[in-house]
Homo-oligomer: A and B are copies of this chain.
Amino acid sequence: MPARIEDVATHAGASIKTVSRVLNGLPSVRPKLRARIEASIRALNYIPNPSARSLAGNRSYLIALLYDNPTAGSNYIMELIVGVLMACKNTPYHAVLHPFESSDDPVAAIDGFVARHRPEAVILVPPHANNVELLQRLDQLDIRYSTISSKSGRTCLDVGFDERKAAAEIVRHLVELGHRRIGHITGLKGHGARTWRLNGYRDALHDAGIDFDASLVVEGDFTFASGIAGAKQLLDLPKAPTAIFAGNDDMACATVREAYERKLSVPGDLSVCGFDDTPAALLMSPELTTAHQPCRAMGRLAVEHVLNSIGSPVIRKKVQVPYRVQQRDSTAEPKSR
């Protein structure tokens, strides 16, 4: 049987309540007693019983991670999870994963989930992070949350990185290589990522004094299939682009595939870049030039910030983590300049 708080109290010659104070980092314990109690805790290898703690304190010590049901290869979520778990490690909090379809009624899903687990904090990933109704419901329930890369302004606390600047940096890299006709396959409408990356693309063109050509921007939805369609559309253009900036890595892979189908070499005949730096970016041949999305850091920060905000009034702020553009082998000078 593991040690209980009572055992620690006896061992340290203090009262249960005082031990509790030490455990919870409350003030009003003299340093000397505190040290003695801490020693007893270590000596007895005492670990508070989480259930008893939750019950008595009416707290769950739970952080929920809400994300869309991953279809396949959601490396993004996996990395985020790693970051979240790492951040929880040295806290009494513990993460509960809750994947759920954005197609279901999200507010009802939240209500059910909250009733069941009573999380003290929630972390939301797009698309849920963009769902204003959902965020409002959480505010109503007085549950602190932080979002990852939310495009919604009303978010309580958002962690992300400057996707617009990263996209611009990628496109600038293409411009510097000598490309003038640069295509873009966009992400899915409604996602912040779509807008930011598209805007970054436009920024870079503008900075380089290249006129925006609407025919060089085609609609995608972040899937491989949409990348194929987008690449076809761009490469069928009377004056095809010499480089394509795809809105994410999957669509970039699709673009490479379509280029190969047309016997175009990458990067010889066509430069391709993606966005996200998924593991596939390194497995591809050639390795994909892309922007590295710092998922682990974002997960970690989301946890740290949201835990800080528990018990405090709602703060609204945006936190940005550094990103990195990975120049690899899928981009090169255009053949004819």
**Which residues of A approach B to under 8 Å, CB–CB?**
2, 45, 47, 49-55, 60, 69-70, 72-75, 77-79, 81-82, 85, 94-97, 99, 115-117, 224, 249-250, 253-254, 256-257, 260, 278-280, 282-285
Contacts and interface: CB of A to CB of B under 8 A. Distances in A.
A265 to B, nearest CB: 10
A224 B52 CA distance: 48
Contact of A224 (B60, B254, B257, B283): B283
Helix, strand, loop or mixed for chain A's interface?
helix
A286 to B, nearest CB: 8
A82 B55 contact: no
This protein's copies in its complex: 2
Nearest to A79: B72
Contacts of A52: 51, 55
A283 B284 contact: yes
A73 B70 contact: no
Contacts of A224: 282-283
Contact of A75 (B78, B249, B254): B78
B280 A279 contact: yes
A118 to B, nearest CB: 8
A70 B78 contact: yes
A49 B52 CA distance: 12
B283 A50 contact: no
A78 B82 contact: no
Best-surrounded residue of A73, A94, A96 (most CB of chain B within 10 A) = A73
B95 A97 contact: yes
